[in-house]
Amino acid sequence: MPVIEWIDEFNIGIECIDSQHRQLVSMINNLYEVIRSNKDRHPAIKKSLDALIDYINVHFSLEQNFMDRICYPKRFEHVEIHKWISIQVVSLCDSYEKDKNSLLAEELFEFLSDWFVKHIKSEDLLIKSFLDQTKTQGY
C-alpha cells in the first residue's frame, strides 16, 4: 500500500482547489500511518476517517461552487461522481465501524488513494482544460 506522492500533474492551476487536494493527500496518507501503527489504533482510525469525510464534503462543495461559477458544462456529471464517491466512502466506513476489522481499514485507504489519483486525472483536470479552452477563445 504505497502512500500518495504529490506530483505536478495533480495541479489543476486553481489555487483554492489545488490546496485542498494537497490537504486531502496529506489526510489520506495520515490514515495510512494510523492504520500501520501497532498500538490501540481503532480510535485513531475513526478520528482520521471522520476528519477525512468532513474534508471530502468541504472539498466537494468548493469544487461544485467553482464549477457553477464558471458554468462548467460537465458539472452535473461531475457532481454525480462526487455523490457516488461519498456514498462509497460512507458505506466502507460503516462496514469498518461495525467490526473494526483492520483489513476493512486498509480497503478504505486503498479506495481513497485510488479514487483520489483517478478522480483528479480523469475529472478534475478537465476543469482546467475547460478554463484553458475558454481563455484561448477569448471569453
Instruction: Select the span of 87-95, 103-111, 119-127, 130-138 touching Fe ion (CB under 5 A).
Output: 119-127
Which residue in the shown chain puts its C-beta closest to Fe ion? Answer: 124
Cβ proximity to Fe ion, 104 vs 127, nearer residue: 127
Question: Is 124 a residue that touches Fe ion (CB under 5 A)?
Answer: yes
Binding mask 49-78 toward Fe ion (x if CB under 5 A, else -) reads: --------------x---------------
> Is residue 89 a contact point for Fe ion (CB under 5 A)?
no
Long-range contacts of 109-115 (CB under 8 A, 24+ apart): 109/1, 109/28, 109/31, 109/32, 109/35, 110/1, 112/28, 112/31, 112/52, 113/1, 113/2, 113/3, 113/4, 113/28, 113/32, 115/85, 115/88
* All cell numbers assigned to 113: 488513494
Least distance from Fe ion to the Cβ atom of residue 51, Å: 17
| Pairwise CA distance, residues 63 & 72, whole Å | 11
Q: Minimum distance between the CB of residue 81 and Fe ion, rounded to whole angstroms?
A: 7
Could you list the residues that contact Fe ion (CB under 5 A)?
Answer: 63, 124
